[in-house]
Amino acid sequence: DGTGEAGGGVWPDGRQASILSGGISARRMTAGDLEAVIRIEQKSFPDPWSFQSFQESLGQPQAIWMVIEKADGKEKWPIGYAGVYTVLDEGEIVNVAMEPEERGKGYGKILVEKLMEEGAKRGVSDFYLEVRMGNEAGKRLYRSLGVEPCGVRKDFYEQPREDALVMRCTGFPVI
């Protein structure tokens, strides 16, 4: 079903990956992923981050960025990405996005799980995020991971203006 862990590996270019079934893998984002990430970002958000914003964030020691990618033979390409900013035992999950044709297949859940695991390796036990009130798929995804509503930020989003549901997951097991 695309969700079973099948081990780890290293791509020929040296990138570490958690290999999942069905030619899917999750790994840390690199600068080489940014062109694909920007394409996904532009398809996913009305006010997308710039190449420079992602590049700067990748260089921040408190930031963790992951991609989930597909492979067929020798070719591989990112189909989604997510980030978290860590401070002590807290992490703020940001910019979770998938290629439109890959949504609803369970890859987003795998990606966010791997992102939270990476955060836990840094001592993060509590994760927070904002999601648009109208983003039912996103809210279902986060609830499936134990992330629960805890508040509302009025008019948080622009283009279009919309409230954000604040969600959190406390007590994530630190690895």
Catalytic residue ranges? 130, 142
| CA torsion through residues 37, 42, 45, 51, sign | positive
Cβ contacts of 125 within 8 Å, gap of 6 or more: 89, 170, 171, 172, 173, 174
Phi, psi dihedrals of residue 63, rounded to the nearest 5°: -95, 140
